[in-house]
Structure 1
Amino acid sequence: MIQALFIFILAGLCEIGGGYLVWLWLREDRPPIYGVAGGIILVLYGVVATFQPAGFGRVYAAYGGIFIALSVLWAWWVDGFKPDRYDLLGAAVALIGAGIIFFAPRS
Structure 2
Amino acid sequence: MTALIYLGAALAEIAGCFAFWSVLRQGASPLWLAAGALSLLAFAWLLTLVEVEAAGRAYAAYGGVYVAASLGWLWAVEGVRPDRWDVMGSAICVAGAAIVLFGPRG
Please, what TM-score do these two structures have when normalized by structure 2?
0.95
Match of 1:93 in 2: 92
Match of 1:73 in 2: 72
Alpha-carbon separation, structure 2, partners of 1:66 and 1:11 = 9
Alpha-carbon separation, structure 1, partners of 2:102 and 2:5 = 14
Question: Which structure 1 segments of 5+ residues have no match?
Answer: none
Alpha-carbon separation, structure 2, partners of 1:103 and 1:4 = 11
Deviation at 1:27, TM superposition (A): 1.1
Deviation at 1:8, TM superposition (A): 0.4
Deviation at 1:105, TM superposition (A): 2.4
Q: Which amino acid is 2:81 matched to? A: K
SS at match of 2:82: coil
Residues 69-96 of structure 1: per-residue CA shift (max 9 Å, x gap):
1001100111011111010000000000
Please, what TM-score do these two structures have when normalized by structure 1?
0.94
Q: How many residues align?
A: 105
Q: Which amino acid is 1:15 matched to? A: E
Match of 2:83 in 1: 84
Alpha-carbon separation, structure 1, partners of 2:23 and 2:42 = 19
